[in-house]
Chains A and B, each alone.
Chain A
Amino acid sequence: MVTAIFPQPRGMRSQPEGPGFLARADLQVLMDLLREDQRHLIGPTISDATIIYDEITSVEDLPIGWGDDQAPGRYRLRKRADERLFGHVVGPTAWKKWTFPALVPLTTATRDGHKVGFAPETTVPPKLAFLGVRACDLAALASQDRVLMGGSFVDPDYILRRASVLVVAVQCTTSSSTCFCTSMGTGPEVTSGFDLALTEVEDGVLVDAGSAAGRAIVERLPLRPASSAEQYGAAATVAQVRARIGDPVPMAGLHDRLLAQLDHPRWAQVAERCITCGNCTLACPTCFCTTLTQRTDLAGRTATTDRTWDSCFSPGFAKVAGGSFRSRPRDRYRQWLTHKFATWVDQFGHYGCTGCGRCITWCPVGIDVRDELNAIAPAVPLNPETVLVDPVAATPNEFVGARVIHTKQETADTTTLTLTGADPAFSKGSTGQFAMVALPGFPPLPISISRFLPDGIELTIRGAGPATTAMCALQVNDQVGLRGPLGNNWPLDRAVGRDLVIVTGGIGLAPLRPVLHAIVAGRRRFGDVKLFYGARTPADLLYRDELERWAARDGIEVALTVDRAGPEWTGRVGVVTHLFDQADWDGSNTIAFVCGPERMMQATATTLAGRGVPASRIHVTLERHMECGIGLCGHCQMGKYFVCRDGPVFSIAQLGDTFGREGI
């Protein structure tokens, strides 16, 4: 997994003498210094009801007292209550307008009879100073540096232009609803890549030098040392900006997640909205695709080739004589998003996006890449429900004790033990987890936790061998050893807002019982909930009183079946899949939890897939030979997973074709 190369955000860079304070009244001195030596100063200014970057000369040219309100497809200026100079965020102009201009002549070709000649065009770029470069745009400059200068082939025009720029960064003291630099790891703090960095405070700016050129300017400014209150206040303001932006796009593993979704239905859905107009790519400060255009005189003697901004969204971008490689708008949208957020990392070692939000604001139809990313490649949810508690006795040597306070014989061979006195960690486990249960002299065995109580747990055990039979025979006040809670959980939070289908048989209801408890506790959060449960005979059905209660009172649709029954059984007979393979329901908004013998789970998964339930939303729990429960004994390995540690709950999408494959 590749991590972004952008450094972790820190506070203001400290220098031996600390940042200086430049009074507002002296800001013109800085601007004049920046314009010395025929350097042109480019900075924010208002034009056409927008804050753009353009050539400026005086403080009066800055958007004094103006801020901006940005939303997908919407930009409006807003008068601030104060007279701040930099109380806004980025506008439609990207700095690449000067470092990577929209039109650059590359080559002039001449033809004289048979002879042809090609002479490179070199523009001598003017010296520039950029005033007001935000952290996201610093990262964008760094990205283009890497793309255009940092590889095996370089762009000489970019090198010249980049070298002639003095960068004066500005810390963001406000943010827009479209910013997500925090997620991309590029801001809001300015950390490197600048000659000078300014942070605006009440009556001036704090000035920090980041290079020799910057220091040379600092020495000529009427600065006084910034007080610690000023420095603290500045850092606090930027920290507030960070807090306000939050973390709109969880980035962990985004590269892999996104590339795993090349067939996601959302691509087609966003393509219905996307006009493929190219605005996002040309507003983007890191996009670098260009095209060549020819300018010839009528006689055809001289021709100049120009390089001009292009966009992968244009229909002709990927055309060859035989057709286009990306003929459909959905293909082109997918190209852009996956390049920006996945394959760019493979190519250049960092994400192509700096979180500046321009593509969101300046999309005329308001498509928001954050929504698209979260829909197509959602992050593994990190909400408190599913934070797994650290297991106790988590070494191969240890166990903790627990005491039996209640036993219940569920069926002829299955007993539920209620345990208390165990480490509180057990009560905080999640549905689907298991414990390693040990009795002296017997091998420890993995048993699913069938209920979580405030002061203990329940274990439902089928006496299938000597150890489990011994456990079933325990009496009140007997003690056992426990390690856990172990493994992962049923992803119930991914079921919020969806329909749930739970399919199980026999003892398989035990690991699912806590799920049903959790559903009942928050029934309104879920759609239709169906439980399909089968057993060999009616006497083998577990938790019969709960089954009745769930069906009668708790809004769960319970369908039962048995393999064979006597005359007193008025319910269904047959395998559990028959309970739902005839029904006509649309599974596209369904999540399924399945537990039972592997063959039963395979058949169920196939039937569910046929109903439109996607593989990423069919979850199974796997049983394997376990001896330690913590991935150290090697027994439960299946393919790339250790079932005890990476499971036992897996989605069919995760398992791929290892599921059901003989001999894995």
Chain B
Amino acid sequence: MSTVAVAARPRVGVVKFASCDGCQLTLLDLEDQLLDVVEHFEIVDFPEATSARSAGPYDVLFVEGSVSEPAHLERIVDLRRRSRYLVTIGACATAGGIQALRNWGDHDAFRDAVYAHPEFIHSLARSTPIAEHVTVDAELRGCPIDPGQLMELLTALITGRRPQLPDEAVCMECKRRGVVCVMVSKGLPCLGQVTQTGCGAICPRFGRGCYGCFGPREQANAAGLTRHLQMAGDRPREEIGRLFAGYTAWSEPFRSMVTELGGAGRGPADARPGSTTTTADDPAATGGTP
């Protein structure tokens, strides 16, 4: 993660790839701090929030969403060229998102779909994180990102220091806050030990195990955790695989666990004839570009 001295009032863009919008919304959800932020940053392009547009160049570009269709490939490269400092925000941009579960599908089968929807041709076989296509200067993990970490990054950009985004386990946050470990006290499987902190230990605080939406942390011993869950919890392999097959499944070592144990599914196992789709005016044949 590099630091860069940004301009006095940095020009900021916010762009979206394949995603739900939640991470961009976190910026607008800064509430009382939002007006302070827009005083220090000039938001030049943020389609969800403003009709003002700019094609760049950007001092800071926030990128939400994963690369999921052919047009994205060129678009991200183009955006990278126009940005001094590119920050990926959220599990889709940093890890490929929940939609990356389709990466375990049979890609040939995808292409042989019975209903050859024209849009379908415009989908890549894989949903991948931004960093697989261009260099990324900083990333904010999470599904969605944490507003505190967003403010920390914005502050770091202004003050010129390295953003404090610790690489430790969620467990540390649980213990600091006095949250009782759900694995030890309730036997609930929890990925917190192998997941990067940042959320404030939300899931254990609310009585359930962490599902890894901030992605695997550095040196995550997913294999050790898997062995323990299998032996101590007597859980079948596929159930443990589904634990890892979540919002950051495509990141290692979660990815290897899913590949080894299963859990990503293959999509609809059987086509249902006469399902919800009917075609009007036979658009399947045309395959036009929107």
Contact = CB atoms under 8 A, between A and B. Distances in A.
A427 interface: no
A48 interface: yes
Interface residues of B, number: 45
B184 A309 contact: no
A193 interface: no
Nearest to B189: A364
Contacts of A366: 228, 232
Query: Lowest 5 A-B CB distances belong to which pairs?
Result: A282-B175, A102-B176, A277-B193, A277-B171, A277-B169
B178 interface: yes
A364 B221 contact: no
Contact of A276 (B33, B154, B190, B219): B219
A329 B166 contact: no
Contact of A282 (B151, B158, B176, B225): B176
Contact of B225 (A275, A294, A310, A314): A275
Interface in B146-169: 151, 154-155, 158-159, 161, 164, 166-169
A93 B217 CA distance: 26
B176 A298 contact: no
Given A275-B194, A282-B175, A298 B224 contact: no
Nearest to B168: A314
Interface of A: 47-50, 52, 73-76, 92-93, 97, 102-103, 272-279, 282-283, 293-294, 296-300, 308-311, 314-316, 329, 361-366
Contact of A362 (B168, B181, B194): B181
Nearest to B36: A298
A73 B183 contact: yes
Contact of B184 (A102, A296, A362): A362
Given A49-B186, A277-B171, A93 B178 contact: yes
Contact of B171 (A93, A279, A361): A279
Contacts of A309: 172, 175-176
B177 to A, nearest CB: 7
A389 to B, nearest CB: 45
A-side interface mostly: loop
B186 A315 contact: no
Contacts of A49: 180, 185-186
Nearest to A319: B167
Contact of B172 (A298, A314, A362): A314
Given A294-B164, A362-B184, A364-B184, A48 B207 contact: yes
Interface string B25-65: 00000000100110110000000000000000000000000
Given A48-B207, A49-B186, A273-B224, A278 B177 contact: no
A388 to B, nearest CB: 42
Contacts of B180: 47-50, 52, 92
B57 to A, nearest CB: 23
A329 B181 contact: no
B37 to A, nearest CB: 7
A314 B183 contact: no
B159 A300 contact: yes
B132 interface: no
Given A49-B186, A273-B227, A278 B167 contact: no
B175 A365 contact: no
Given A75-B185, A93-B178, A299 B40 contact: yes
Contact of B228 (A102, A276, A308, A365): A365
Contacts of B37: 298
B219 A279 contact: no
Contacts of B186: 49
Given A277-B169, A314-B168, 8 more contacts: A272-B224, A274-B224, A275-B225, A276-B169, A278-B168, A283-B175, A298-B155, A315-B219
Nearest to B225: A275
B221 A276 contact: yes
A378 to B, nearest CB: 24
Contact of B193 (A92, A297, A308, A364): A364
16 contacts: A48-B207, A73-B183, A92-B184, A97-B178, A102-B175, A102-B176, A277-B172, A282-B172, A296-B159, A298-B37, A298-B151, A298-B158, A315-B167, A316-B166, A362-B181, A364-B183
B119 interface: no
Contacts of B187: 74
A25 to B, nearest CB: 32
Contacts of A365: 193, 224-225, 228, 232
Contacts of B183: 73, 364
Contacts of B164: 293-294
A510 to B, nearest CB: 49
Among B158, B166, B167, B168: residue with most chain A CB under 10 A? B168
A277 B192 contact: yes
B260 interface: no
Contacts of B178: 52, 93, 97, 102
B78 interface: no
A74 B164 CA distance: 33
B171 A278 contact: yes
A341 B161 CA distance: 38
B180 to A, nearest CB: 5
A218 B194 CA distance: 50
Contacts of A282: 171-172, 175-176
B205 to A, nearest CB: 10
B218 interface: yes
B176 A279 contact: no
A362 B192 CA distance: 14
A69 to B, nearest CB: 11
B181 A92 contact: yes
Contacts of A74: 184, 187
Among B158, B192, B224: residue with most chain A CB under 10 A? B224
Contacts of B224: 272-275, 365
Nearest to A308: B176
A409 B41 CA distance: 102
Contacts of A276: 169, 219, 221
B256 to A, nearest CB: 16
Interface in B212-234: 217-221, 223-225, 227-228, 232
A364 B176 contact: no
Given A50-B185, A298-B154, A316 B193 contact: no
Interface in B1-44: 33, 36-37, 39-40
A238 to B, nearest CB: 27
B177 A102 contact: yes
Nearest to A316: B167
Nearest to A111: B159
Contact of A48 (B185, B190, B194, B220): B185
